Amino acid sequence: MKGYLPGNQITLLKNGEEFFPALEAALNDARKYAHVETYIYRDDDTGQRIAQALMRAAQRGVDTRLLVDGFGSRPLPEKIFKSMQEAGVQVLVYRPERSRWSLRRYSLRRLHRKLAVVDNSIGFVGGINIINDADTPELNPQYDYAVEIQGPIVGEILWAVRRVWNLVSWSQLRGKRERNHHGVESTETDGRTHARFLLRDSFRNRRTIERAYLRAIGKARKEILLANAYFLPGTRFRLALIEAAARGVRVVVLVQGRTDHAMANYAKQAFYAQLLDAGVEIYEYQKSVLHAKTAVIDGIWSTVGSSNIDPFSLVLSREANLVIYDHAFASELRSSMMKEIESGAVRVRAESLKNIPLIKRFLIWVSFGVVRIMMGMVNYAHHDPKPTNRP
């Protein structure tokens, strides 16, 4: 298995209910180094909880760092950041947002990763931001995943977070560049899981995550199960799913039914007819807000991370996914995903598309038109034709 590192122990964490206690425990045990990187950081009870753990670590003499995105964390929670800095936590902002109305391509390049690494012995990769994901009383907690990792792959996570920290620190004249290690050896584990840590950036890894998906989909023989919060695939990705379905592969796609981005929600429905006609099963998640970015293919290949299947994640933002090649982990993730589909999702049927009201058809095609323009701006469309002549 080229590119996979063996010897890892990987634990699946569902929602903030499981992720935040695991992250807090790791920070409480930190001895030398603790780094948290997130797209969204909110000054709510969850943000304060993680801040307290970071501050406790800093006061013990741990080299403690927090890197947040300037757009995702806007407005920046200055009060909590100041408290952390006074306690010794180093805080940096990736590309501070100067104007919320800027449409320059540069301004769309965000730090969308959700990573943490402690003492080069424990790492976290996933899609969960530092925010209370259960703060909407009428909904269940936001549906999302992360993984806790022990083993050699943690060293790659450490390298990734230190590299971006150095870039941001240098660009803001906040300190000198450091060598990309911290003098802590990787912890040996009795884990046997093979995994790959995948990054997306604008340099060496422009299409790394997308290509990993496409290779796995191209090799699928039995089942493809995808859950993705913002599903706006380009031509190559859609054709890969369609070709898999034509080979007799069961293709199941879980997307948002309740969404915080109306335009993306309408735009994705422009692809429904083409995929349904090809035999792809589409489900809309209704129980709460779907934020997961996960996949399981043929019961052995799986991924958990921050990357959506849309032009912003696959072409513009800094993203991070973990790919796991392991039957046991894939079985656990698949079981969890299928349970959510069965208990909280509604299947989209081709016949239901015929009864869409005119106003909704209009919104779908206007939204899709805007997305096509944006895809062209980021060079993601690949001469993308109109997907169908009906929504």
* CATH numbers and ranges of domains, the chain: 5-191 (3.30.870.10), 207-377 (3.30.870.10)
Q: Which residues sit opposite 45 in a β-bridge?
A: none
Which one from 35, 194, 291, 310 is the annotated catalytic residue? 291
Catalytic residue check, 114: yes
Predicted structure pTM score: 0.89
DSSP state for residue 313 in the 8-state scheme: I
Which one from 44, 63, 298, 384 is the annotated catalytic residue? 298
Which one from 112, 133, 268, 326 is the annotated catalytic residue? 112
Catalytic residue check, 298: yes
φ, ψ (nearest 5 deg) of residue 208: -60, -50
User: Along the 391 residues of the chain, how does pLDDT read in single tens digits?
Assistant: 678 999 999 999 999 999 999 999 999 999 999 999 999 999 999 999 999 999 999 999 999 999 999 999 998 899 999 999 999 999 999 998 765 555 454 556 899 999 999 998 999 999 999 999 877 655 678 999 999 999 999 999 999 999 999 999 988 776 555 655 444 455 566 789 999 999 998 677 778 999 999 999 999 999 999 999 988 888 899 999 999 999 999 999 999 887 666 666 666 667 888 899 999 999 999 999 899 999 999 999 999 999 999 876 777 789 999 999 999 999 999 999 999 999 999 999 987 766 777 777 666 666 666 666 555 555 554 444 444 434 4
Which one from 114, 194, 201, 326 is the annotated catalytic residue? 114
Catalytic residue check, 119: yes
Which one from 43, 69, 119, 201 is the annotated catalytic residue? 119
Which of 41, 131, 134 minimizes the C-alpha distance to 83? 41
Catalytic residue check, 277: no
Catalytic residue check, 293: yes
Catalytic residue check, 291: yes
Which one from 133, 293, 310, 326 is the annotated catalytic residue? 293
